[in-house]
Amino acid sequence: MSAVRTYRWQSPSNIALVKYWGKKGIQLPANASISFTLDTCHTDTKLTAKLSEGNPQLNVHVNGQLKESFKPKIEQFIERASVRYPVLSHLDLDLETSNTFPHSSGIASSASGMSALALCLCSYLRDSDLLQGEFMQEASILARLGSGSACRSVYGDLAVWGEHKDVVRSSDEYAVPFTDFHEVFSDYRDTILLVHKGTKSVSSTVGHGLLEGHPFAEKRFELAEANMSSLLIALNSGDLDRFIEIVEDEALMLHAMMMTSSPSFILMEPGTVAIIKKIREFREQNAIPVAFTLDAGANVHVLYPAKFEEQVLNFVDKELVSYCEGGSYLCDTVGKGPRELTC
């Protein structure tokens, strides 16, 4: 009988400032991206693993309920990860996972979920003396194979994924922490306005595929590269005007790419556009450096320095909450990254 081992990791979601949109090869990004690691929005995953004596079994429980529908994505992930670590395709795996944010909230759980699972697997590999490199780097490589953006979630504060001339040791295979940032960003706030809680009309995998043959793809990759360079400077110096300009440009360009792809997708809802306009008005009238960003959906992430929290939350409650489904929003902040928990 082989040893049964159990591990538990809590891993956060992240929000991209320069977006990963388009991939090549096996989960390699078409351009470099950078994100804030979040804190409150995270996944807690407990993994029990043992060498299988027959056909490897996979059981997935989400919030205590057996979830057959989550298995194909995890099976695909294990298959990809076992190219690097063959033992992974010979394990019986029991996964118990829960998110702090509701599954149906429209917040992608793949970044936190896949990074939490990758970290659990790395703990197993470490204890089996099979880990091929530094723990977090290996976790980032595996997380990437599950979901591209997940590879950035293994580091706190800010993380860069994808080779970029201005980031030493940056790689397409894993994320690296970006530590050269001004202190204003260390506790930056992200208030997530839930404009549409349902599942997205385009999965990110389909979305990335839309860049193939897209008439603006090459220009997009060039602009992302340039936006990375400019954003790194703004993050380093604490230049909030420039930060806002680049972050909003990235959000709108992501949606512009979706609107001009074939088939095309409009993922913003009327409420998304109304919120964006109100944020810009509020910023001009009050000289408060608040910015918006979007992921591949209708929800709006409102980004601002911690010291403006009270004013911004008042503004959200007075002017923006009416555009949120059921008046829902989540308050998050830049976080310190994953934590290993006792089982």
Interface with ligand DP6 (CB under 6 A): 16, 19-21, 27, 33, 108, 110, 147-149, 204-205, 208, 254, 295-296
Token pair, residue 145, equals 């194979």
Nearer to ligand DP6, 92 or 248 (CB): 248
Tell which residue, 314, 210, 301, 288, has the closest CA to residue 250. Answer: 301
Which residues, at least 6 apart from 316, have a Cβ–Cβ distance to it below 8 Å? 191, 193, 302, 329
Which residues, at least 6 apart from 25, have a Cβ–Cβ distance to it below 8 Å? none
CB 149, min distance to ligand DP6, A: 3
Nearer to ligand DP6, 8 or 152 (CB): 152
CB 154, min distance to ligand DP6, A: 14
Token pair, residue 91, equals 């394990």
CB 220, min distance to ligand DP6, A: 13
Nearer to ligand DP6, 222 or 317 (CB): 222
On whether the CB atoms of residues 44 and 8 are closer than 8 A, the answer is: yes
CB 118, min distance to ligand DP6, A: 13
Nearer to ligand DP6, 162 or 283 (CB): 162
Nearer to ligand DP6, 205 or 286 (CB): 205
Which residues, at least 6 apart from 50, have a Cβ–Cβ distance to it below 8 Å? 2, 3, 4, 5, 91, 92
Token pair, residue 262, equals 């074939």
d(CA 17, CA 247): 5
Q: Tally DSSP H helices, then E strands, for the chain.
A: 8, 14
CB 24, min distance to ligand DP6, A: 12
Of all residues in this chain, which one has the CB nearest to ligand DP6 in the complex?
148
Is the omega angle on the peptide bond into residue 263 within 30 degrees of 0, that is, cis?
A: yes
Nearer to ligand DP6, 48 or 115 (CB): 115
CB 254, min distance to ligand DP6, A: 6
